[in-house]
Amino acid sequence: MNVHDPGPPGDSGLTVRDLAVNYGPVTALRGVSLDVPRGAVVTVLGGNGAGKSTLLRAISGTLRFHRGGIGAGAVAFGGRRLSGASTSAVVAHGVVQVPEGRKVFARMTVEENLRAGALGARDRRAAAEARERVLTLFPVLAERARQRAGLLSGGEQQMLAIGRALMARPKMLLLDEPTLGLAPMMALRIADTVREINAQGTTVLLVEQNAALALSLAGHAYVLEVGRVVLSGPAAELAESDEVRRRYLGIGDDRDEALLSGAPSIRPALTRWTA
Amino acid sequence: MTTFLELLVNGISIGAVYALIALGFVIIFKATEVVNFAHASLLLVGGFIVAKTHESLGFWLALLLGLAGAAALGALIEFAVIRRANVVSHSILAIVTIGVDIVLTTELTRQIGTEVLALGDPWGSEVLHIGAVNIPLARIAALVTASLVIALFLLAFKYTNWGIAMRATAEDSETAALMGVRRGRVSMGAWAVAGALAALAALFMCIFPTPGLDRTVTATAMKAFPAAILGGLDSTTGALAGGLIIGVTESLVGGYQSELVFLGRGLGDVAPFLVMIIILLIRPAGLFGTRELARV
């Protein structure tokens, strides 16, 4: 699959161009560009503070909740500009985010959480169809419909968070670390689900710290470091590259050797720590 | 025993009215995290509109206008003040509402002057006799109407999309926004509903046995504040329980005041606040609240 194929004009996926984001005086993203073609799964890797969540906030229009703003650049989906739009307009355009840490409405029931997910789309019949699809994908949500969401296990909460987002019938799903804090089996289960959602036609942008899992899912990958894209390419190629293997997959040379031969930027940091 | 029953029914009736006010407090707090000190002025506006229009429009139409007017004023305060005020802390917004309250109340008390305005309600001063128990018809009307409205409100809060959007926003406004919920609409809706509830409460606070609407009604309305606080500022159940507790306490203590004369007079007015303090000492977040008031 050629992930660089932009698709037919007017039907392009998500494009991010030269995006810069600030939280007051702090710059979180500098000149980030990336593309998610329609129907693709693209992943963004990076450590804590690399700017992954900031990127998703800029796309979904939730920066203002964190006193941040877009300094430069633009985000568009299907040819429509999303940067500057309200969060509800972004949702109405079919771009829906599953927040990091699941964020289910703990005091509401599973059923009510799913209804909340459909609030952006006012079409009742469409909501009923979406509900059907979500319950087929996650039968456990039907079993627990009347339970408070706060009482679900972590994996079930993640399923609910994804199901809730699907209730809005998104064309594109933004996933922020969906496997964070889950048992390995459950992480694989979530990965399978993401594959299935994508197979049903939803474009996926996946932000992950679990690089191995993310690279196995995605067609194309970007690596963010301190607010910049430092690497990008087909996921399979990145998974083979030494740097990604060493930094994000934890495979490769011996640690000490990695330190000695590795990026020089690590050394001053180390001396500072020990000084 | 008869006296006790009369006092109890009266207490429940006035408690249901306090609960209307407290519910408004609670939904504004849930939707916007603002403690609305301008609530008494919403109430005053609602009552004032009814008092001024019932002669020309008839009572029911005037009541409708009063409800709509207070709702519109609530929405206006949200739109013009709360939404614009780009402040860091919600306690600052609470103080802003004190300012709004002072402006509105000053103007309205100037308009009312020293008059006592009748609201033209159809219940008048009739008294219902059930056995030996005598209850003013107006209090029964208050009890029935307030119960119906509260029930309707709680059902809507639980089952409608409006209620789900409200609760989702109250729990996590950023995540609710990710569902496409428009925060501005939710908070404006909360202020409007709170205004209408306050106007309804104004009606029942100013009819028999109260002589009518006068400038002191805002002080009476502030008794709903301990009701909301002791129930828990973020709990609708709490508002209900708090309202009833305050109403019954006030009524019983006021009624038996002659036997409590060693504590001084006017105990009925003080008792609600005493109850609030005692409950807060034991449960700082209120009976049903989840957030401690330090948050305010």
Domain interval for residue B97:
7-217
Nearest to B178 among A60, A106, A118 (CB): A60
On the question of pLDDT at B244 being above 60, the answer is yes
On the question of pLDDT at A56 being above 80, the answer is yes
Per the domain annotation, does B280 fall within a domain? no
Domain count, chain B: 1
Q: What is the ipTM of this complex?
A: 0.83
> Residue A208: which CATH number?
3.40.50.300
Per the domain annotation, does B288 fall within a domain? no
Per the domain annotation, does A138 fall within a domain? yes
Residues A224 and A123 in one domain: no
Answer whether A115 sits within 8 Å of B161, measured CB to CB: yes
Measured CA angle at B36 (ends B35, B42), to 5 deg: 165
Residues A158 and A110 in one domain: yes
pLDDT number for residue A261: 47
Residues A164 and A177 in one domain: no
How confident is residue B188, by pLDDT bands cut at 50, 70 and 90?
very high
Q: Does B173 touch chain A (CB under 8 A)?
A: yes
Per the domain annotation, does A259 fall within a domain? no
Domain interval for residue A218:
1-94+170-183+196-240
Answer whether B174 sits within 8 Å of A99, measured CB to CB: yes
Per the domain annotation, does B266 fall within a domain? no
On the question of pLDDT at A270 being above 50, the answer is no
On the question of pLDDT at A143 being above 60, the answer is yes
Residues A85 and A116 in one domain: no
Per the domain annotation, does A189 fall within a domain? no
On the question of pLDDT at B108 being above 50, the answer is yes
Nearest to A168 among B173, B179, B182 (CB): B179
Determine the residue of chain B that is closest to A59 in CA distance. Answer: B178
* Cα distances (angstroms) measured from residue B83 to each of A206, B27, B34, B182, B184: 34, 16, 11, 13, 8
Per the domain annotation, does B153 fall within a domain? yes
Q: Does B178 touch chain A (CB under 8 A)?
A: yes
Residues A4 and A65 in one domain: yes
Per the domain annotation, does B250 fall within a domain? no
What's the rounded Cα separation, in Å, for the pair A246 and A228? Answer: 19
pLDDT number for residue A269: 42
Q: What does the pLDDT average to over B158-184?
A: 91
Q: Which residues pair with residue A197 across a beta bridge? A: none
Per the domain annotation, does A86 fall within a domain? yes
Per the domain annotation, does B241 fall within a domain? no
pLDDT number for residue B291: 59
Answer whether A88 sits within 8 Å of B176, measured CB to CB: no
Polymer length in residues for chain A: 275
Give chain B's mean pLDDT. 88
Per the domain annotation, does B223 fall within a domain? no
Per the domain annotation, does A266 fall within a domain? no
On the question of pLDDT at B268 being above 90, the answer is no
On the question of pLDDT at A3 being above 60, the answer is no
On the question of pLDDT at A248 being above 80, the answer is no
Which helix (H) or strand (E) segment is A172 a member of? strand A172-176
pLDDT number for residue A1: 42
Per the domain annotation, does B256 fall within a domain? no
Per the domain annotation, does A271 fall within a domain? no
Tens of pLDDT along A188-226? 999 999 999 999 999 999 998 888 899 999 999 999 999
On the question of pLDDT at A164 being above 90, the answer is yes
Inter-axis angle of helices B236-255 and B2-32, nearest 10: 150
Answer whether B161 sits within 8 Å of A88, measured CB to CB: no
pLDDT number for residue B210: 81
The C-alpha of B175 sits at a distance from chain A's nearest C-alpha, in angstroms, of 7
For an interface test with A, give the residue of B86, B89, B178, B236 to mutate (most A CBs within 10 A). B178
Domain count, chain A: 2
Q: Does B168 touch chain A (CB under 8 A)?
A: yes
Determine the residue of chain A that is closest to B172 in CA distance. Answer: A105
The C-alpha of B256 sits at a distance from chain A's nearest C-alpha, in angstroms, of 42
What's the rounded Cα separation, in Å, for the pair A81 and A85? Answer: 8
Per the domain annotation, does A177 fall within a domain? yes
Residues A34 and A156 in one domain: no
